[in-house]
Amino acid sequence: MNEQPGAQNLNGVNVSRLNETIQAIQAKPSLADFRFRVVNKWKGGGFNQTTVKASYGAGQEFPGRYGKFVMEADEPPILLGEDKAANPVEHLLHALVACVTTSMVYHAAAKGIPLDAVESEVEGELDLHGFLGLDPKVRNGFKSITLNMRISGNLTEEQKQEVVKLGPRFSPVYDMVTNSVPVTVKLSN
């Protein structure tokens, strides 16, 4: 990642700090190990509430995050919920597009590419035959997800194409959605 000469802050990203982070991780690779944690409570029907717990990264705990963010999930009435919040698959779409956008903006800043705006529309197609157990050949999750990204700024079409590829290339959530991630589900006391 190269910093644009004289640029301290580009696309809302402190490029100097970004480069310092990269250098610190190169010098001590264990600083790159992070652990994010949440706790979830079922509130009835399709309604759940998730609270962010302390996270770990750069060799230290961050206890100040505990309880700072609360996310809720429910289902629309057509799916037997009370529509108190976005449903889990909508949260996934949000996580995906937010991470792709952030990754794209950070890496564009690191490359010295200024952006004026990034907007997107995301759509996921899901067949309930899998979730409802009606057809074992149909997957429970999305069949496909489409991200339509709009980038504005003083960029050529070629630069826009370069920038849009940065998001999927570096996004952790994109990686998790498009590649299998081991998930362990176990009963705790």
For the ranges 14-23, 75-84, 168-177, the lowest mean pLDDT is seen at: 14-23
In this predicted model, what pLDDT tens digit does every residue of 13-54 receive, in sequence order?
999 999 999 999 999 999 999 999 999 999 999 999 999 999
- Whether 7 has a pLDDT exceeding 70, the answer reads no
* Structural domains of the chain in order of their starting residue, each with its CATH number: 37-85 (no CATH), 87-179 (3.30.300.20)
Question: Can you tell me the mean pLDDT for 148-165?
Answer: 96
144-150: long-range contacts at Cβ-Cβ below 8 A with a sequence spacing of 24 or more? 145/93, 145/96, 145/177, 146/122, 147/96, 147/97, 147/100, 147/120, 147/121, 147/122, 148/120, 148/121, 148/122, 149/100, 149/101, 149/104, 149/118, 149/119, 149/120, 150/117, 150/118, 150/119, 150/120
Region of 79 please: left (phi>0), alpha (psi -120 to 50) or beta. alpha
Q: How far apart are CA 158 and CA 6, in angstroms?
A: 24
How high is the pLDDT of residue 189?
86
In this predicted model, what pLDDT tens digit does every residue of 99-111 receive, in sequence order?
999 999 999 999 9
- Whether 4 has a pLDDT exceeding 80, the answer reads no
**Full-prediction pTM beyond 0.85?**
yes
